[in-house]
Structures are given as C-alpha cells and as structure tokens.
Chains A and B, each alone.
Chain A
C-alpha cells in the first residue's frame, strides 16, 4: 500500500510541479511587462493595468480559476480547454499566470522604484547609455530588493497549486485525498504534507542561497 500511495503522490507531484514551473515561466516576464506598463508615461496602459491588478488581487484565485476554466465553454458554446488532464493543467496555468503576474508586477515595480534616482543620475553623468545604466547599475540592486518578497509569493504558489483540484486536475492534494475517499486512509494526507514540506524546503534553501549571494553589498 505504501508504494501504491507513493507512486500516486509522485504522479500528483508531477502535475503540481508542472503547474508551478509553467506558472513561473509565464508570470515572471509578464509581471515585468505589467510593472513597466504601470510606470508608463502614457495614462491609458497605466490605468488599465491598475484596474486589472485591482480585480485580480481583489478576488479569490479559486474564483478566477473557475471562471477561466468554465467561462469559455458557457460563453462560446464549446470548451476551449480540451477535456483531458492536459487541458485542465493548461487552464490552471493560464489562470495562475495572470494572477501571479499581477502580484509580481507590484513587487517588481517596488523594486525598480526603490533604487534611488541618484544611481541612474550618477550613471548618466558618467556618460553611460540607458541600457548600460539598467544592466550595470539598476538591475542587480532591483533583484536584491525583489528577492525576499518574491520568495514569499513563490512559496505561496506551491501551496496554491492545490486549488487545481477544483477543476479536477490530478495534482498532489487530489492524489492524497483520493485515498481517504476510496480507502478511508488518513495517513496519505500527512504523507502528502511531507511532499509539500520538502518542495517548499528546497525552495527556501534556494532563496536563502540567492539572498546570501547578494549579501555582499547593501
């Protein structure tokens, strides 16, 4: 039985991991774009992004996931997500990417604006180009500011992946839960918790390492 549970949980972990990885892959760059857009010279993108961030941060992720998964089918008359497992994972990744991009954009924006204007000006006065200033001066200072809040969000994402169960994606929590439903076993639930703890533990070590690497300056 133990091996059966382990195999099932590893299966679920794979889905969890896919959701996690692809969400990061899309939401990080998208969040950066939103961050720049929200600091744009033009009012329209600034305004639109503000509204988007307000809506996404102001409503539950679970609700967004349900709307993204079921909405198109009800409005268009046919489901744009294929009915199998990969369709459900894709829908989850889309919903999560939009959601996390909004959170990341706020963090990125704080990081960019947190670098004092004097840094850019010192570069300008030394005859540097805009891109030299960004890559040689601002970027690393921005990364340093952004890593701690970013690590919080990334760890939250690990646990948020369990929401995919709402649309019946077979992720880690679903896998653990299914043994309770079918066999009345509770120990797989605790075992599932261990999987999350290890996942989060590895990420914590990774982020600590990055923070230590950036510790050489202030």
Chain B
C-alpha cells in the first residue's frame, strides 16, 4: 500500500483554480520530484499537504488514514490538526529558520515542546532533554554541520541555513518530507552541498516530495516524477522517461525551454 494517497485535490484562490484534480500516490521510501513552470501550483500543492492551505476538494491519506477530505465537516478537518501535520515535514525555499535560536536550538525546539505534553515529562525532564539534544546533534552532524551547532542563522551561509532547516524538519521524524525548491534561494556555488544531503536522504530511503528546478538532480535522485502546468498534472512517471522522452506536448515545450535556459 502506498504511504501517501492524494486524490482529486482542488484549490481555488478567489475564483482562479490553482490546483485542479491533482491525484498521485507515493510508495514508502521513494522520492517524488515535481517540476513545472512558475505559477503552476507546485508550492500550493505542498502547502495543502502541510495544512498551510485548505483544499477546496479532494482527499489526502497517509498509511491508509484519511487526514483530509473536503467532504468532511469543518470541525472534523480541523480535529487533531497538529497531529495530522506531523506526518509531513516541510523545507521552505527561504529556510525560515528562527533567528533568535542557534542551529541546534532550531532543531530541538519542536521536539522539546512536544515532549512537554507527555504525562511523564516532569519526572524525566533531564533524560528527555538529554535524549533530544543527542538527537539534534546527530541530525546536524548528519547534515555536515558538526562545527556549526551553536551558530545563529545569520552567522551561517545560505547553504548551511538550509541544511539546518532540513535537520529541523527531520527532528520529528515525519513520514513524508517535503522540499519547496530548496536551492532556489541559494547562490549557485552553494546548491551542491544542499543537493548532496538530499541525495544522501534518498539513499537512506527517506520518503520525500521535492519541488525543484534542478532537472538533472530530479532525474538522478527521484523514483517518480510529476510535471505540472496550470494547476494540473500533465504527465507523471519514471523520471528518466519523462525527462528524456516526454509524451505530452506541454512537457516537451517546458523541457525545451528549460534546456535553452
């Protein structure tokens, strides 16, 4: 069974349809790349999955559990929203690190707050915090940031900030990690270090959805690829096939335009 099932997602802003009948599924341990021109609805789709936007139609299920269904009454959609959100992690284009916290504090914050809600928190506070700290440090080390744990975001390069953001998103062990153009805000010479850690995550079979303009990267790293245009999925399939041998006219045009820069 697929870990993620997205069915007929529809989203309107005012009266323009930004997502129309978007359906796909994702297997556990796979990486899905989403490509498409500016304004095609890629960010909006990720925001719907993370409950930052509420779709106007369709449903979202993770591991067979329906998290969202547009036909649900409002109260049921919002019930347990925080828990539902934790199935997904999000890495933003502009990092959105918390500036007043160090790299390590950024990574640990959500885990610490969540731990506080546990009934046995008071008795085991020390051990729990020690465990969370060890976890946070391990994540930053995994991102190649062992030397940067006590740095504040403004003391880090864009590439380092984005890697902290990835560690932060991994801290709560989401089922599916979403990336919204993780390298678009970076200087070209810094994109490599971020792509490298995402590649390493793919090698470790992290379930991911990656919106990207890095075609070569999408082709190499993902197991599945979606091309979107004007809010609809035009073509999806095996990355190499879609990129090297697109079937749809719109995909061909997009890839040609992309190849020409």
Contact = CB atoms under 8 A, between A and B. Distances in A.
25 contacts: A118-B92, A119-B96, A119-B98, A122-B90, A122-B92, A125-B88, A125-B90, A125-B169, A126-B168, A127-B83, A127-B85, A127-B110, A127-B172, A128-B82, A136-B109, A136-B113, A137-B98, A140-B100, A141-B99, A216-B152, A217-B99, A217-B152, A217-B153, A217-B154, A218-B153
Interface size class, chain A: 10 to 19
A125 B152 contact: no
A23 B154 CA distance: 37
A125 B113 contact: no
B100 A125 contact: no
A121 B85 contact: no
A129 interface: yes
A162 to B, nearest CB: 38
B113 A122 contact: no
Interface size class, chain B: 20 to 34
Given A127-B172, A128-B110, A122 B85 contact: no
Contacts of B97: 122
Interface of A: 116, 118-119, 121-122, 124-129, 132, 136-137, 140-141, 216-218
Nearest to B99: A217
A124 B113 contact: no
Contact of B86 (A116, A121, A127, A137): A127
A217 B98 CA distance: 9
Contacts of A116: 96
Nearest to A216: B152
B85 A124 contact: yes
A122 B89 contact: no
B50 interface: yes
A140 B105 CA distance: 15
A132 B100 CA distance: 15
Contacts of A141: 99-100
B98 A128 contact: no
Contacts of B51: 124
Interface in B29-71: 50-52
B36 to A, nearest CB: 22
B154 A121 contact: no
Contacts of A126: 109-110, 168, 172
Nearest to B94: A118
A25 B100 CA distance: 27
Across the A-B interface, give the 4 residue pairs with the lowest CB-CB distance, nearest first.
Answer: A126-B110, A118-B96, A122-B96, A218-B154
Contacts of A122: 90, 92, 96-98
Contact of A127 (B52, B101, B114, B168): B114
